[in-house]
Amino acid sequence: MTDATTTRPVFDNGVSAVPVRELSPTGSFEPTAPYRLFDLDPCTPVIGAEIGGVDLAQPLTTELHAELHRALLEWKVLFFRDQRLTALEHRDLARWWGTPEIHPFLPKAEIPEVVLLSRGADSPAVENVWHSDVSFHTTPPMGSILRAVHIPGVGGDTLWADMGAAYDGLPDALKQRLDTLTAVHDFTKTFGQQLSADELARRQEKMPPVAHPVVRTHPETGRKLLYVNSIFTSHIVGLPDDESRELLALLCDQARHPEYQVRLRWRTGTVAFWDNRATQHYASADYYPHTRVMERVTIVGDRPR
C-alpha cells in the first residue's frame, strides 16, 4: 500500500515510512541519496556512522538538519568529533529535533535540560547495563545527545545496539507472538531504590507504571523494534511471572549480539546523537576509579505504538 502524495509505503498502523538505506549487491547498505553537506563514514554495516565537516556549535540550517535527520534514521547513532559546545548550545542543538526533557532524577549541569553524568572514585558508574533512556515515561525520548566533557585515558567506551536488527534476528514464530504483547515499564526498580518511602510514593503517583508494546513500530521508518530493557521493564502483561521473566531475559539478551552493535571510543569533545526509539546503549564501567564526565540532553518523543 502506498501514500498517494508521497509514494512512500504506508504500514497497517497508518505510519507513512521514511525511506531508509537498502542492502546493495556488494553487501553494503547504501544511503537513499548522497549526503551533500557533510562527510559520513559508516562504523559498521548495521549501525553507527561518524559525521565530518559539521560544527555543532553553529546554528543549523534547515537543509543541514534534514540531512542529519535522514542520517540518524538510516544509521541510528551519529558520532561527531572535536566539538566545543556550551550547555546552552547543547540544549539549542537538541531543540532542532523537539523539546528537551528535564530528567526527573538525574543531576543537572548548568541548566535544567542538561543532565550531568559524573563518575569516578566517589561515584561508581551504574550505566553499564543495556537500556533505552527513560522508557518509563508515557512518551519516552525520541533521541539523546551526549557529549564528552572529560574522558579517562583509556576505557569508558559506549556501545549501541540496533533493536530493529535484534527483532529481525528472532524466529518468525516468536515475532508473531511478540506482536500481540505489551510490557510494563517502571522507574521503581532503578531510580526508586534511592528514594524514601514517602518520596517513592509521591513519585509513583506522578509517574505510575506504563505499558508499551513489546515490539514498537518506528513512527518515521515503519521499522519493527524490540522495546523492552532490563532496567525499566518489570514484566510482560498477562503472562505468569516465571514465563514473563524467561521471555524478558531472552529478549533483553538480544542487545548483546556484536552483530547488532557499534562501539565508540570517546575523546574529549566527542558528541553522540542516537535514536532512542531504535536503539539500546551500554556504557562500559571499566575505568574505575578514574573520572569520566558527560553531559546529555534527551528529546521528548511520542507514545510507542
How confident is the model over 107-129, as a mean pLDDT?
89
Left if phi > 0, otherwise alpha if psi is -120 to 50, otherwise beta: which for 98? left
As a whole number of Å, the CA-based R_g of the chain is 19
54-63 pLDDT, tens digit per residue, is: 999 999 999 9
Flag whether 286 is in a domain.
yes
Residue 164 pLDDT more than 50?
yes
How would you class 149 by CB atoms within 10 Å of its CB: exposed for 0-12, middle for 13-18, buried for 19 or more?
middle
Positive or negative torsion for Cα 227, 228, 231, 235: positive
Nearest to 81 by CA among 45, 109, 41: 41
Nearest to 144 by CA among 156, 162, 132: 132
Flag whether 82 is in a domain.
yes
Whether omega for the bond prior to residue 107 falls within 30 degrees of 0, making it cis, is no
Banded pLDDT at 31 (limits 50, 70, 90): low
Total number of domains constituting the chain: 1
Contact present, 46 and 259 (Cβ < 8 Å): yes
Total-model pTM: 0.89
Q: Which of 13-27, 119-133, 206-220 has the highest mean pLDDT?
A: 206-220
Residue 18 pLDDT more than 60?
no
Flag whether 37 is in a domain.
yes
Flag whether 158 is in a domain.
yes
Flag whether 1 is in a domain.
no
Q: Mind telling me the catalytic residues? A: 131, 133, 281, 296
How confident is the model over 214-231, as a mean pLDDT?
97
66-112 pLDDT, tens digit per residue, is: 999 999 999 999 999 999 999 999 999 999 999 999 999 888 998 99
Flag whether 5 is in a domain.
no
How confident is the model over 22-37, as a mean pLDDT?
62
- With cell 550531568, the residue in question is 116
Banded pLDDT at 30 (limits 50, 70, 90): low
CATH number for 271:
3.60.130.10
List for the chain the helix, strand, coil content (%; round to 5).
Answer: 25, 25, 50
Banded pLDDT at 21 (limits 50, 70, 90): low
- With cell 566545543, the residue in question is 84
Nearest to 78 by CA among 62, 89, 67, 92: 67
Lowest mean per-residue pLDDT among 17-21, 125-129, 190-194, 241-245 = 17-21
Contact present, 184 and 210 (Cβ < 8 Å): yes
The contacts of residue 280 (CB under 8 Å, 6+ apart) are 130, 131, 132, 160, 161, 163, 229, 255
The domain of 287 spans 25-305
Flag whether 157 is in a domain.
yes
Q: Which of 104-113, 123-132, 245-254 has the highest mean pLDDT?
A: 245-254
Flag whether 295 is in a domain.
yes
The torsion defined by the Cα of 17, 96, 216 and 232, in degrees rounded to 10, comes to 170
DSSP state of 223: -
How far apart CA 304 and CA 224 sit, in angstroms, is: 11
Contact present, 230 and 130 (Cβ < 8 Å): yes
